[in-house]
Structure 1
Amino acid sequence: MAYIFNSARSFAEESTAGFVDLYSDILRAVPGGVARATRTPAGQVAVVIGGGSGHYPAFGGLVGAGLAHGAALGNVFASPSALQIYTVAKSVENGGGVLLSYGNYAGDVLNFTQAQDRLRAEGIPCETVRVTDDISSADASERERRRGVAGDLAVFRIAAAAAEAGASLAEVVALAQRANERVRTLGVAFGGATLPGAEEPLFTIPAGRMAVGMGIHGEPGIGEDDLVPAAALAALLWDRVRTEAPVGAGSRAVVLINGLGSVKHEELFVLYREIRLLAERDAITIVEPEVGELVTSFEMAGVSLSVFWVDAELEALWATPAHAPAYRKGHALVVGERVTEVEALAAVTRTGEESAVSHTLASVTQPGEASAESRALAPLAGRLIAVIADTVDEHVEELGRLDAVAGDGDHGIGMQRGSRAAADSVDAALADGAGLASLLSAAGDAWADRAGGTSGALWGTILTSVGRELGDTEVPDAARLARAVTAASDAVMRVGGAQPGDKTMVDALVALAESFAAEVASGASLEDAAVTASAHSTTVARATADLLPRMGRARPHAEKALGTPDPGAISLALIATAIARAATAQTTAIKENS
């Protein structure tokens, strides 16, 4: 469990502040994360990595000479928002383009892709390499769906070393992809992690047993086995990873022994010795191994083995010097002038963002252009956003428990961070004269930025899509409101890639949109249409208990999720129900007072 924190909601920010203060000689704080303290040399490819907090040294600890130029840091176990990633990239790009690299998780894919699109729209060359080394998370025939775990380090190091050597963006991408294709990881856990402020671990394991194939976000393993001596554990890990060796792997490999938080170095050394003996048995030469904490999961008791089969070029790049807070090799020469605070502020200002990273990613009508009618309706939208935040607050623990069954247990707190940020953005938007579109876009962007993760990106999409359809100039009628909900449903499917039946929020959202549109078309009042549609959405959300997940972090643990409804579908249905009740109550009050 976490012993030292002030507030679970502010833990990630406070931890990052202390981290930057401690390593101010190596890195600096930038909006959305951290960057090298020195300016990226002109024309050099900028390698930007990122992910959720709680995995130190990933990701901020891997920023420095010979490693990443910047890292976007999300909340605990949640991906950074698209705006965080964009601002970190803008802070370090200097004419050579940007490589984005991260573990292959749904929230990270959504947010990094949006950031990439924005960078490209501004004329900045940007490419992506997703790390997919976890052999337990998908079959070999679906390697593109695998998670990224401790193999992150191999991909980040090769990409950054190539960039330092002057490689072009295309060359850096090709080398990073080759590294990803040649690294494989398998892990085991002996106990689950407990998030700051939580009373219970994300999962538990019976005494004398271990979970095999767990993730790094508190996801339980894909199976259990008896706890075994170090030699047998080494054989289990080595033999399973070896069966996944890439074609033409060769006989030289980097070995990474990664402790996930509670397994200490002395134990890892025992495991490494056994792995070395197995490598000798199989005529594999171990090249510059690493043993320690590389990608953690708070205090999870667990360990993973990564094998990175190298060719001559990859081996040479792996051996180059590096100097980051948590990873140092050889003597890395730190080049470039230190970025001053004034220069850093100017760079952020040029991106059009404030240091709070709160401006919208979407192109919407400016508040000053809103009609008087739309501005008059904006406070109503603001009150409904407050209803959303209150609803999430009421159900936050329930949503976390649902998510912990086959995920990382952070859905409740992520929804809470996002919805509260959206509600907090309302007053400023109203003060700026926002109409419906402007207010909803500001709220959506605040939600996406504060929550991060998949739900943050998707709820940001919902609010901005609704706002875009409603506009800032007209008073929307029932038909337009129905089109707005449908537009949000379509946008979420387009951005997230899920379809009805995949056991995601899409199941409940599509049901809501279709039912609401049908009720409006039949002539029902807005209030009645909202009540009927929210009830249908709730029924569909509960019915997801009978589905197997085909998307997201729960997919590798599909059987565990059977019998439990999808937390994203449930939270959407709860919110839809609360909005319908609030709208009905307001209409009743108006009628009684008239």
Structure 2
Amino acid sequence: MTRLWNDPADFADEMIAGFVAANARSVRRVPGGVVRSTAVPEGEVAVVIGGGSGHYPAFGGLVGPGLAHGAAMGNLFASPSTQQIVSVARAAHAGGGILFSYGNYAGDVLNFDEAQRRLRAEGIACETVVVTDDIASAPPERAGERRGIAGDLTVFRAAAGAAAAGAPLAEVARVARHANDRTRSFGVAFTGCTLPGAPAPLFTVPEGRMAVGLGIHGEPGIDETGIPSADGLAELLVERVLAERPDDAGIEGRVVPVLNGLGSLKYEELFVVYRRIAELLDDAGVTIVDPHVGEYCTSFDMAGASLTLFWLDDELADLWETPVDTPAYRRGSVDPARTISDAATATTAAPTSDDIRTAAAPAAAPADAASRDAARTVLAAIAVTAATIDRHVDELGRLDSVAGDGDHGIGMQRGATAAIAAARTAVADGAGAGSVLERAGDAWSDRAGGTSGALWGIILRTLGARIGDTGSPTAASVADAVAAAADAVSASGGAQPGDKTMVDALQPFADTLRAETSAGADAAAAWRTAASTATTAAADTAELQARRGRARTHGDHSLGTPDPGAHSLALIVTAVADVLQDAARESERTPS
């Protein structure tokens, strides 16, 4: 279990502060993560990586000459927010454009894609290569759906080697895709991991058994078997990974093997396993190059291991020789680089995301009296949302742990807490209803990170843009705004009804709300009826098999359990119905 923390909610921020304090020669803190503390040649492509915290040395430990230029570091097991990624990318940019690379998880894809869109709009060239090395998470014909696990290292290193050689952005992206195509990984676990402050592991494995095909976020494996001997584990790993040898690798070939410990296995145990892995690869006619045995992508205290094989060709072999010097990973000899400045690197107390939101918050847009009155109702709705999440945070985490990483409740709580603080400030500034929603959406997505943070940010910002800052919203305009938000969520994540996601509750809610208002119901009555529909729809997701999100890779593990995103949405819209009813009664009592 994880034993040392202060406030679990502060764990990631305090961990980053300590990491920077210990590694100032390599990294400096910026809002959202870290970048190199050493100078980067003007015009060099910046390789920006990232993901949730809890995987050290991924991702901050891989920042330095010869490897990443910056790492966006989200909360524990939650993707960094769009704002965090944009902040790190701007700080890392040296004029040659940005290559984003990260593991293929829904929240990371949503937030990195939005960050890329924003940076491109500013005129900064960006490309993305998503790592998909985990062969257990999808069959070969759907390789693009696979997760990224310890194979992140080989893709990041190949891309960074190309960047260090002066390659342009398009070429760096091509190299990264090529490296990803020649990287395969497979993992197992003997115990789950426990997040700081959590009373129990995210999943458990029966005594004497082993989970097969797990991810790096505490997700349960796709199979279970008895614990083999060290040689038996080596044989399982090699057999599975060799079976997916890249088509262009030939019968024989050169491979970099990476035996990765997930947090609790001792190095001595890994060496015993690697001894047999080396024998098996030799028997298969494979030439071993630069073997790696150690911790490269962990999962807190999970007891487990994964094997990655990176198949080299002449191009990748040359790039692999690029010297690297980062806090957690060194290869070869790197020429000394100029430190940017003592002032710039002494940033263990760097501005936080909260500071950036406060500094970047625009002045309240002009709003008329009717919209300012409506803003107070919006504030009450966000307040009841935060209170509802607080009451159900443990339940939402439990639902998410069935076929996910158990952080949905914590993420929603972080987002809602930030949203209510931003909404109160906006109302105090005299903002209208639309601006209050937009500021709350920005705060929610930034603080929560992850898939739910990105999607709730989209919902609130879309509602705000549609409702605006003039006049009092009507039942019809609210219904139209909710419909637009549902469309925006589907467009962003690609989920459709039946995929077992938030959309399974959001779309019926939007459809019912529009139908009820079209039939003449007032806003409060229509909302309550729609909330009832959403509650039923969310419960019905228990019978669906996940086709999107992290639960997708776990087959029927989630059957019998409602989708946590759909369930939390139903809880929220049900609570907001009371706010709208109270507002309607107050309006009836107040003379026009």
- TM-score, L = length of structure 2: 0.96
Structure 1 residues 365 and 471: CA distance shift in structure 2, 3 A: farther
Aligned ranges 1:330-369 → 2 under 5 Å: 330-339=332-341, 341=343, 356-358=355-357, 367-369=364-366
How is 1:49-68 mapped onto 2 (pairs within 5 angstroms)? 49-68=49-68
Q: Distance in 2 between matches of 1:521 and 1:267?
A: 66
- Give the 3 Å change call, closer, same or farther, for CA 343–405 of structure 1 in structure 2: closer
**Structure 1 counterpart of 2:303:** 301
Query: Residue 465 of structure 1 corresponds to which residue in structure 2?
Result: 462
CA–CA distance in structure 2, aligned partners of residues 26 and 456 of structure 1: 30
Instruction: Provide the aligned length of Structure 1 versus Structure 2.
Output: 587
Is 1:399 the counterpart of 2:401? The answer is: no
> How do 1:504-519 residues align onto structure 2 when only pairs under 5 Å count?
504-519=501-516
Counterparts of 1:263 and 1:591, CA distance in 2 = 66
Residue type of the partner of 1:168?
P
Q: Structure 1 137/255 Cα, relative in aligned 2: closer, same or farther at 3 Å? A: same
Q: Residue in 1 aligned with 2:289?
A: 287
Deviations 1:68-91 (A, max 9, x none): 000000000000001110110000
**Pairing 1:327–2:326 present:** no
Please report how far the alpha carbon of residue 506 of structure 1 lies from its aligned counterpart in structure 2 after TM superposition. 0.3
Q: Return closer, same or farther for 1:365/1:31 CA change in 2, 3 Å cut-off.
A: closer
- Give the letter for the 2:365 counterpart: G
* CA distance in structure 1 between the partners assigned to 2:354 and 2:497 by the alignment: 38
Name structure 1 gaps, 5 residues minimum. none
Range with greater deviation from structure 2 (577-586 or 72-81): 577-586
* CA–CA distance in structure 2, aligned partners of residues 337 and 206 of structure 1: 50
Work out whether residues 50 and 101 of structure 2, in 8 Å CA contact, stay in contact via their aligned partners in 1.
yes
Q: Establish whether residue 260 from structure 1 lines up as the match of residue 258 from structure 2.
A: no
Q: Secondary structure at the match of 1:136?
A: helix
Q: Which runs of 5+ in 2 are unaligned?
A: none
1:171-194 Cα offsets, whole Å, 9 max, x none, are: 111111110000000000000001
Q: Quick check: 2:24–2:346 contact (8 Å CA) kept in 1?
A: no
Contact (CA 8 Å) 1:357, 1:449: kept in 2 or not?
no
Contact 2:37 2:345 (8 Å CA) reproduced: no
> Which residue, 560, 580, 587 being the options, matches 2:577?
580
Question: What amino acid is the match of 1:358?
Answer: R
CA spacing shift, 1:552–1:221, aligned 2, 3 Å: same
- 1:412 to 2:414 alignment: no
Percent identity over the alignment? 57
The CA deviation string for residues 526-562 of structure 1, in whole angstroms up to 9 with x for no partner, is: 2111111000000000000010000011011121111
Whole-angstrom distance in 1 between the partners of 2:581 and 2:436: 22
Give the match for residue 317 of structure 1: 319
Aligned 1:193-208 pairs, distance under 5 A: 193-208=193-208
- Partner of residue 384, structure 2: 387
User: For 1:548 and 1:6, how far apart are their aligned partners in 2?
Assistant: 38
SS at match of 2:555: helix
**Structure 2 counterpart SS, 1:475:** coil
Distance 1:106 1:588 in 2: 41
1:446 equivalenced with 2:443 (yes/no):
yes
Q: Secondary structure at the match of 1:534?
A: helix
* Contact 2:463–2:481 (CA under 8 A) maintained in structure 1: yes
Q: Which moved more, 1:378-387 or 1:134-143?
A: 378-387
Q: Please state how far the C-alpha of 1:114 moved relative to its aligned partner.
A: 0.3
Q: Bigger shift: 310-319 or 392-401?
A: 310-319
Asked whether the 8 Å contact 1:461–1:488 carries over to 2, the reply is: yes
- Secondary structure of the residue that 2:133 maps to in structure 1? coil
Distance 1:268 1:370 in 2: 63
Answer whether contact 1:91 1:344 (CA < 8 A) is retained. Answer: no
Residue identity matched to 2:500: K
Q: SS state of the match for residue 123, structure 2?
A: coil
Equivalent in the alignment of 2:87:
87
CA RMSD, aligned part only? 1.9
> Could you say what secondary structure the match of 2:471 adopts?
coil
Alpha carbons of structure 1 residues 224 and 344: separation in structure 2 relative to 1, 3 Å: same
**SS of residue in 1 equivalent to 2:28:** strand
Deviations 1:252-281 (A, max 9, x none): 000000000001100111111110000110
TM-score (norm 1): 0.96
Alpha-carbon distance in structure 1 between the residues aligned to 2:442 and 2:506: 20
| Separation of aligned partners in 2, 1:140 and 1:365 | 48
Deviation at 1:590, TM superposition (A): 5.7
Q: Distance in 2 between matches of 1:278 and 1:368?
A: 67
Q: What's the CA shift for 1:369? A: 2.1
Distance 1:357 1:47, change over 3 A: same
Q: Corresponding residue for 1:541?
A: 538
